[in-house]
Structures are given as structure tokens and as C-alpha cells.
Amino acid sequence: MSHLAIILIIVSALIHAGWNLLSKRSSPSAAFFFVANGIGAWIFFPWVAAYPGIVYTMPNRTWLLLLLTGFFQAVYCTALAAAYRHGDLSISYPVARSLPVILVPFVTFLLGRGKLLGTVFMIGAALILAGGTLVSVDELRRFKERPFLKSALPMAVWAALGTTGYSMVDDRALRLVRESLGGLYGTIPITCVYGFLEAITCTTWLGIFILSGTGWRRVGPVSLRWAAGTGVLIYLTYGMVLLSMAYARDVSLIVAFRQVSILAGAFMGILFLKEPSPVTKIGGLAIQITGLVLVAFS
């Protein structure tokens, strides 16, 4: 992997942790992410304007998958907002960020679309779960004292399930579009146009959640400035990851380097939000990172 790819991935990981810090400080809601996604999506609009043929000629099945991935993305945003309202960034972020690394290949294997999970993967998965337990040990002790929808840990797990869902649907949808249109437009234009459409469907689902009262109990006022900043950072991060793929031969290296964001997010919570930093949390983070690296290279 080139030095440029490494720089892009590390910077994108720090930005990813940064927008999570911004959203946490804003006491976010589904409405917050509705505004963030609605504004951030326009980063990719120049690609839509330059390549409108991608939109017109996408396979019909892709539109159904876009609706599904938008739903999962909306679940992720709503659950993440709830986790941040009721718990620490340094707990919710590592849990929501690390679990999909296990869940995506595991569900793919169960669906018969992936390879047999090897020993290295299983060891890495066990370390991720053990580390996550240590990171969350204080939250686990308080679990029985709070209603389900006001507990950070189950909401972080829901966010991870949302990430797993949209990751798998995105993979399928992008494969369909690239197989159909890749020879005409290329990978990056297709992915950026798809990213715009995904953001729009996610925003639509968030609007439905809010209007139907299922935005998990809080709408509240939204700071347009903070939400807009979060949205721009969300899609700036995505664009940098896409660009880095052009300079890396092995995607597993990108996956491994992106896990820097877990450490960055946890320590941002500790440093900037003054969240507790017991030995169990620090040790759990170290174990999680070790497990994530093993999974990435397995």
C-alpha cells in the first residue's frame, strides 16, 4: 500500500472519529442525522450531474436494494443517536464500530456467500468480543437500572446491526451496478453516484421514522451548524476511503488501518468530553484493536 493511501486512510479515520465527537456533543437525534445526511449528500452531487446516465440505466433491482440499504442506514443513525444521548462516546463508538467487522463475514458465511471462517478470524472475533465487554463493563453493571431504549449499550449494538445490514446490501447493489455499467463509467463515478442515492434514501427513511414517531423517542431542536458540519464530514470520510482504494492493492490493509478510528474516537471521548478512563476500558480497547487487526488480515 502506498504512503498516500496510508495517509488518506489515517486522516479519514480521524475525521470519522471527529464527526462522531461532533454528533455526541450535540446530543443527537434522528432529526439531527436527517439534517446531516440531507446536507452531506450534496458532496456527491457533482458526480450525479457529470454522469446522469448512471442514474437512468441502473438495473431495476438496484433501486430496491437502495431502499433497503437506506432503511438500515437510518436504523444505524437513529440507534447511534440514542447511544450517544445515553452513554459515553468511548463506550458506544468502539462497540458500534467493531461488531460489524465480525458480523458481516459471519452473516455472509451463513448465507452461503462467503468462505469458511478460519482460526485466525475466530481468535480475532473472540478478542473483539472480550475487549468490547471490558470497555463496556461499567455500562453492563448499570444495564438493569435503565429502560432498554435509554441504555447506551443495546443502542450501540443496534447501530452495529444497522451497519452490518447496509454494508451487505451495499456490496450486493454495487456489484450489480458495476457488472452492468462498469465498462462505461468506471468504479469511482459509479460509487459516488450510488453514495448520493444512498444518502437520499437514508434521509427519506429518517424522515419517515420522525413523522411516524419511531425516531426512538426524541426529536428536539437541531443545531443546523453542527448537523451540517457532521454531514459534510460523514461524506468527506467516505470519499477519502474511495480514493485510497485506487492506491492500495489489498483492501484488507485498508480495513486494518481504518480501525485507528476506534482508538481515536475512544480517546476523543476521554480527552474532550472528560469521560471516565478506567484500566478496564483502556485494556479493552487494546484487546479490541488486536482482534480487529487479526480479523482484517484473516
Question: Whole domain around residue 260: which residue ranges?
Answer: 3-297
Exposure of 95 by Cβ count < 10 A (0-12 exposed, 13-18 middle, 19+ buried)?
Answer: buried
Say what the pLDDT of residue 252 is. Answer: 55
Most confident of 178-182, 201-205, 244-248, 268-272: 201-205
With contact defined as beta carbons under 8 Å apart, do 205 and 76 qualify?
A: no
Q: Taking the model in full, what pTM does it have?
A: 0.89
What ranges in 41-186 are assigned the alpha helix state H?
Answer: 45-50, 52-57, 60-86, 89-110, 119-135, 137-141, 152-185
pLDDT tens digits, one per residue of 118-161:
788 888 888 888 988 888 877 776 666 666 556 788 899 999 99
Say what the pLDDT of residue 72 is. Answer: 96
The angle subtended at Cα 255 by Cα 246 and Cα 66, nearest 5°, is 75
Q: How would DSSP label each residue in 103-144?
A: HHHHHHHHTT-SPPP-HHHHHHHHHHHHHHHHHTHHHHHTGG
pLDDT tens digits, one per residue of 5-61:
778 888 888 999 999 999 998 878 888 999 999 999 999 999 999 999 999 999 999
* pLDDT exceeds 60 at position 1: no
The larger pLDDT score, comparing residue 220 to residue 128, is at 128
Say what the pLDDT of residue 40 is. Answer: 93
The larger pLDDT score, comparing residue 111 to residue 199, is at 199
Structural domain total, the chain? 1
- The mean per-residue pLDDT over the stretch 272-296 comes to 87
